[in-house]
Copies of this chain bind each other. A is one copy, B any other.
Amino acid sequence: MYLQLSETGPFPRRTHTCGSLGLDDADKRVVLQGWLVHKGKVNKKMSFFGIRDSYGTTQLVVDARKCGADVLAAMREASEESTVLIEGIVTQRPESQRRDVPAGHVEVLVSSFKLLNPADRNMPFMPFDIQNLANEDLRLRYRYLDLRRTELTSNLKKRSEVAFLVRSTLHEQGFTEVETPMLLNSTPEGAREYLVPTRVKQSSSDTAPQALFYALSQSPQQPKQLLVASGAVDRYFQLARCFRDEDGRKDRQPEFTQVDLEMAWVSWGKERAAGEPSSQSDPDPWRIGGHEVRDIVETIIRRIWKKIENVELEDRFRVMTYNQAMGRYGSDKPDLRFGLEIQDITSHLPQPLREAMEANGEILEALVVTNVAEHTPFVRAASEIEGDKSIERLQVAPSASSSWLSQSRIAEEILSVTTPALEAFELNSTLGLAEGGIVWLSRRPRRPEGGWTALGRLRLALAEAAQRRGDLVLGDEPQFLWVTEFPLFTRADEDKEFLAHGRWSSSHHPFTAPMSEDIEKMYAGKVEEVRGQHYDLVLNGVEIGGGSVRVHDAAMQEYIFAKILQLDEQEQSSFNHLLHALRCGAPPHGGFAFGFDRLMAILCKTSSIRDVIAFPKTAAGSDLLFKSPSPSTAEVLAQYALRPL
């Protein structure tokens, strides 16, 4: 019953992969191992099979008169997806039958056959039946079957290739890969982190055992800053596994991979040559420090796109300030593959309206779809999209093309009276508006906040609708963009409010340096005016990475903690080691990190990061294959000085 000795005993070594055979191998004796494929094509003399491995499929020809009837019988009897070993002679296929796929020019005349491992005849699904793809939960449960699918196989290989390319590039550039701890300290709030209880140590004291915890690293931010502060390496990188408890966020995984780098001795302002005065006017739109980081990141990205996509990216990626991005595209990660820019129309408004807005510190923005050629893809979409309730949608009437502003609810709200006489002549000319044109209006504070404006979301909704209708086809050319000069502090981030409790939060993290020009403002308490030396890298409207020049001055860092973020003593104490490291002569430093899973999903042209991870978890954090998470017992928990609630 158990014994399958013939299948598990010794067998000859594989001499070739199934996908590697070519015309050069003709007449060679080969040993192939792979999965058996039934071809079902049989004539009186010859039977055909395939043998597949991860490199390709070789056609097998079986002539029972030559190899014996038992070989043919055994092959027929073996189920599909069984692993088998065949020995045979490579022969050229007739020229008419050659195909341009791996091993497509040859076939192998089988001389012997061995069943290495039979596949169950009732598998949950057949992985190559991609016309009838099983539902995702079933495929995740039997991931070892689904991974046979060519798409997933090639995603994993591409991921490995890109990771190696990143490492090669960084090694060439003098970077040292350093592994930082994944078992780190837990924070008092425990936000988003995973705790790891530790077993209670046997102690001679009589005090009650206390549960103690590590926390899984959410990112290597603090270790890498300490490392670079140490001076042990001045160029650090790591492909780091990170852990974040973000249940319910779409397409996130509890564990994910980050390409993380940090450099010492980064610059702190506009690029200039040694000795050149810093006051010289400079057209470089990158007006913050961290040029060294920018150079490296662009090099990595260019090499990836060259190797994987065979695309030569521009020498320098575009740069835009946060204010520009929010103003023109209504987003801090604008998609530049289409136009449809937002316009600030405040200065073109009739005087009473303009003055009222300026008095409020507000602006009026407009997005317009009219009958010019570049708007054509959006015309049909415009008819279906309203925008959220803060947005007003108006259409220019055929008969009275300058009267639409008079009908504006927003204008009325601003002026607090109905104003029938708001002529829009100047606006129509500025916006290129004409009869039938559609205009969406939105008022907002002059200083943008957060990641989106109302019109920014509308712009994206219009483009999505236009794509769905087939009116808009986005170009293949990737649109990379740096966004810089973010506000250093914010009160507009809901995610951070959980910990901030109404205080200022850091827009990115509390270690980001202010722009040199804004340091005095910061110490003067003009918190909202301070811009940070932060840079986000955006691709086609997706933020693929970000980083910053860090504060290296302990006094400045302490000021930020205590005076701006108003951390209490306990909160501050969790940064004591970092402050002390700064006090020990830390060099100026800065870094960058990009999400590797998201980048790979883009390169593999899939919308789900689960398609680029070998063994992913569901959106709810369940691993359907390994059956985790799962309960434990009171007995086990007691070892950690814990018990069920």
Question: Which residue, of A53, A82, A274, has the highest number of chain B Cβ atoms within 10 A?
Answer: A274
Question: Which residue, of A29, A583, A633, has the highest number of chain B Cβ atoms within 10 A?
Answer: A583
Q: A548-580 vs B: 1/0 string, CB under 8 Å? A: 000111011011000100000000000001001
Q: Are A227 and B144 in contact (CB under 8 A)?
A: yes
Q: Does A531 contact B (CB under 8 A)?
A: no
Q: A154-181 vs B: 1/0 string, CB under 8 Å? A: 0011011001100110010000111111
Chain B nearest CB from A156 CB (Å) reads: 6
Chain B nearest CB from A189 CB (Å) reads: 8
Contacts A164-B171, A556-B8 given; does A184 touch B628 at CB 8 Å:
yes
Copies of this chain, whole number: 2
Q: Are A209 and B628 in contact (CB under 8 A)?
A: no
Q: A78-108 vs B: 1/0 string, CB under 8 Å? A: 0101110001000000000000000000000
Q: Are B623 and A4 in contact (CB under 8 A)?
A: no
Chain B nearest CB from A240 CB (Å) reads: 10
Q: Does A513 contact B (CB under 8 A)?
A: yes
Contacts A223-B615, A580-B142 given; does A33 touch B156 at CB 8 Å:
no
Q: A301-335 vs B: 1/0 string, CB under 8 Å? A: 00000000000000000000000000000000000
- Bound together, the chains give a CA A520 to CA B6 distance in angstroms of 11
State which size class the interface on A falls in.
Answer: 35 or more
Which residues on the B side are within 8 Å of A9 (C-beta)? 268-269, 516, 519
Q: Does A50 contact B (CB under 8 A)?
A: no
- Bound together, the chains give a CA A363 to CA B418 distance in angstroms of 110
Q: Does A76 contact B (CB under 8 A)?
A: no
Q: Are A645 and B10 in contact (CB under 8 A)?
A: no
Q: Does A215 contact B (CB under 8 A)?
A: yes
Q: Are B147 and A230 in contact (CB under 8 A)?
A: yes
Q: A509-523 vs B: 1/0 string, CB under 8 Å? A: 000010010011001
Q: Which parts of A459-511 form the interface with B (CB within 8 Å)?
A: none
Give which listed residue, B35, B116, B243, B267, contacts A183 with CB less than 8 A: B243
- Bound together, the chains give a CA A504 to CA B353 distance in angstroms of 88
Which residues on the B side are within 8 Å of A148 (C-beta)? 230-232
Interchain Cβ contacts under 8 Å between A and B, 22 examples:
A2-B555, A4-B553, A11-B267, A12-B273, A13-B272, A30-B274, A54-B233, A54-B234, A83-B587, A148-B232, A159-B178, A179-B614, A185-B623, A198-B621, A201-B247, A214-B623, A227-B614, A241-B241, A637-B642, A642-B644, A642-B645, A643-B644
